[in-house]
Structure 1
Amino acid sequence: MIPTIPQPALLKALWTAYVAAFFVFLALPLAVVAVFAFNDSLFPSLPWQGFTLDWFFGDTRPRIGVFHERPILRAIGTSALVAACVSVLSVGVGLSNAFLFNRYRFPGQGLLYVLMLLPLVVPGIVLGISILVFSSRIANGLWDIAQWDIDALRPGLALVILGQFSFIATIATLVIGARLQKFDHTLEEAALNLGASRLTAVRTVTLPYLAPALVGAFVVAFLMSFENFNTTLMLVGSDAPLTIAMFDRLKEGSTPLLNAVSLLLMLGSSLLALVMIAFQRRG
């Protein structure tokens, strides 16, 4: 609907109702999860039994809270470690890719760009299976030929980082490249004319301009890695990230503890998003 074009009142009402229903559809499940994180019951369902903080701070069974549940805390730490590694790698490679596709022209550039985008259209579970099969064959081949057993090629955190990095780096490239396209190249040329080297000009002129995009790409990569499930499920070893740990808990039966974890994740994601928005506005 275009606001500048007069519309019948009925159409405006229907449009408003549609938008409201859309946001209710998105927000209602999250609100339900948040509310039942405080339900004084062993089951996250009606009827409401009263308000409690046991699912956050409880230290006796069966009401062990998030902050006293060591497997969950360990899984959160594992997810944070994986997300940090994936984010650093993705931003570094994304920055290089952005310069490559924006500053240079070479044969096969279009094909290379399409190949870079390809992981975004491949289902995550297919991507995970492909990486697992490929790495396992390499590991088995090295063992058969030279008796080398490389743990990084077996299911585990190294393979999880590699699997997530394979498609998150593409998103980081698009985020950084979009800002680099708006950069005024004459600013670099002015620095070069004043005696700066090419590397110094990029470090002192271009990178500060790209700082909001770098922070945004890091935050997006961190959140995508932290909540990834499909690819991680195929590549995980004994150290399970949070999404896999929660999935294993759900197979045993849902409890308000999982609601509490979900609420903390929503708050953490919202906080990171607000930090990113504030940094980009300042930049």
Structure 2
Amino acid sequence: MTPAAPMLEADRLALRVGSRWLCCEFSQQLVAGQCLVLLGPNGAGKTTLLHTLAGLREPGAGRVLLGGRPYAGWRALDAARFRGVLAQQQPDHFSSTVLETVLVGRHPHLGRWGWEGPEDERVAREALDSVGLAELAGRDILTLSGGERQRVAVAALLAQAPQLLLLDEPTNHLDLHYQIAVLDLIRGLADRGRGVVMVLHDINLAARYADQVILLDGHGGVCAGARDEVLQAGLLSRAFGHPLRRYELDGRTTFLPD
């Protein structure tokens, strides 16, 4: 039996913005059931890398394969059904209800002239319930707090039901309770066979949820591999420009500034 292709693969990938190389060439694979975290200091290129992995921009060198094929080999609609993207910011220019906003996630599953039906509404309401916002389905999106709006964005991605989720700072605007709740939810999707790529700022959350890590140092360097290979105090200290120490506390790996 031929093994399934990786859900996502970076093959000798390098990123360039203008004349600046954000990272040198590296290769990495993500298979179903795994969570990959992109980590690094501000400005290192984490969002640029996520967008490249999502097929939203061309790499400076190398290629990205989605399910074993380059993005050029996918119909846009099929790619939208296979992979979904959570953006870092959620601009809302028009008034709409929370439920209507989440239903946008169902659009890849509708025909060109299709309208959302009862099944789409069921999926959207279930997604809202999973992020603790079922009771806000009728609220105007413009009246939400930043944290509530972020959870609505996560619900829209869940309603899209992609096999591969790419999330840019999913903990944006969330307090501690909802940071853990949302990351537990995302980790649970991976444990049930989805693929997850997410940008995080918190090293300790990366240590808690990642199977693999890509660490950008902000100077073109990149270290990619299994979580425990990359999350080393020396590598992290150099990347973030501050000495860190690694501790094992109650069975969890924790990094603290020196």
TM-score range, shorter chain: under 0.3
**Higher relative contact order, chain-length normalized (CA < 8 Å, sep 6+):** 1
Choose between structure 1 and 2: higher strand proportion.
2
Normalised TM-score (structure 2): 0.24
Which of the two has higher C-alpha Rg?
Answer: 1
Choose between structure 1 and 2: higher helix proportion.
1
